C-alpha cells in the first residue's frame, strides 16, 4: 500500500482535471445562457467514457475518474461550476446533478 500525502493527491487531481475535463467540455458542449438548456452530469460522464481521452487513460487513472470524481471535477471547474444544481425541480420531477445553460454542440 502506497502512502501519498493529501497535497500530492490534490495536485495530481488538479492536473488531470485541467487537462482532460477542459478539453472535453470545450469540444463537446457549449454555454447557451438559456435556462431551458440543461445536461445531466451522468450523461456528460457517459459521453466522456466514449472519448479517446478515456481510452488513453491507464487503469489506475480510470479508477480515479469514476462518476463521482468526474462530477466533482465539473462542479469545481470555473467555467461550468457556476451553472451546477444538485437538485432541480421541474413539473413535479426532480433532476439530480444537472448543469443549466449548457447543451451539446
Q: What is the pLDDT of residue 2?
A: 47
62-95 burial string, b = 16+ CB within 10 Å, else e? eeebeeeebbebbbebeebeebbeeeeeeeeeee
Q: What is the pLDDT of residue 47?
A: 92
Please compute the mean of the pLDDT values over residues 18-29 and round it to a whole number: 77
pLDDT band for position 12 (cuts 50, 70, 90): low
Helix axes 6-16, 67-76, angle to 10 degrees: 80
pLDDT band for position 43 (cuts 50, 70, 90): very high
* pTM for this predicted structure: 0.74
Cβ–Cβ < 8 Å for 34, 104: no
| pLDDT mean across residues, the chain | 80
Q: What is the pLDDT of residue 11?
A: 58
Amino acid at each position: 500500500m502506497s502512502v501519498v500525502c493529501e497535497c500530492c493527491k490534490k495536485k495530481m487531481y488538479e492536473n488531470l482535471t485541467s487537462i482532460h475535463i477542459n478539453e472535453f467540455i470545450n469540444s463537446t458542449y457549449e454555454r447557451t445562457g438559456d435556462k431551458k438548456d440543461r445536461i445531466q452530469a451522468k450523461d456528460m460522464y457517459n459521453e466522456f467514457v466514449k472519448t479517446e481521452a478515456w481510452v488513453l487513460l491507464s487503469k489506475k487513472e480510470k479508477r480515479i475518474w469514476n462518476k463521482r470524481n468526474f462530477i466533482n471535477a465539473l462542479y469545481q471547474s470555473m467555467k461550468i461550476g457556476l451553472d451546477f444544481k444538485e437538485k432541480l425541480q421541474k413539473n413535479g420531477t426532480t433532476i439530480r446533478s444537472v448543469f443549466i445553460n449548457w447543451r451539446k454542440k
